[in-house]
Amino acid sequence: MDRGTILFHKKFQFTDGDVGEKLLIILNEPDYKEEEPYLIARVTSQPKNKPTNYGCHKNLSLFFIPVNKDFFSKDTWIQLYEIYEIDFKTFVQDRLQYNQVEIVGNLDSLTLTHILKCVELVEDISEQHKRMILRK
């Protein structure tokens, strides 16, 4: 799986302990020799007080993708303020053994480039995560 892969997780565990269905985007390409995790961001289609002009909103740590662009059938915000780590073993188990994760699409390469530029600007992302996401 590559950076920009869009996943549907049937039983995603949120940081508050809740479990539910969620669309996710892989932000990095892990270095398996270093046993790096996948870094993923959640997406939401809930518009509550969110900007609706395409692109990076660094002060809100959001990236907006309008309806019918790339994969999304609704206006969608990528939530960059909370990056999740999923180790390779857990991901494989969730996908193959438990059938909880599906690959549903991929971001357009230009959209992905814009998101990566946004990651550089967002202050809510740790330097360690930025290095892992932005590494070529």
Q: Which residue has the higher pLDDT, 98 or 26?
A: 26
Domain that holds residue 76: 5-134
- What pLDDT, on a 0 to 100 scale, did the predictor assign at position 123? 95
Q: How many domains does the chain have?
A: 1
Tens digit of each residue's pLDDT (9 = 90 or more) over 27-86 = 999 887 778 899 999 999 999 999 999 999 999 999 999 998 888 999 999 999 999 998
Residues forming a β-bridge with 9: 22, 101
The pLDDT mean for the chain works out to 90
CATH number, domain containing residue 90: 2.30.30
pTM reported for the whole predicted model:
0.90
Cα torsion 105, 110, 114, 119: sign: positive
pLDDT of 61 reads 97
Listed as own residue / partner, the contacts of 51-60 with beta carbons closer than 8 Å and 24 or more positions apart are 55/114, 55/118, 56/114, 56/115, 56/117, 56/118, 56/121, 56/122, 58/118, 58/121, 58/122, 58/123
What pLDDT score was predicted for residue 19? 84
Whose CA is closest to 47, among 14, 8, 76?
76
Element (H, E) at 111: helix 109-121
Q: Give the integer Cα–Cα distance in Å for 89 and 91.
A: 5
- CA 58/CA 79 separation, integer angstroms: 11
| pLDDT tens-digit map of 24-35 | 999 999 887 778
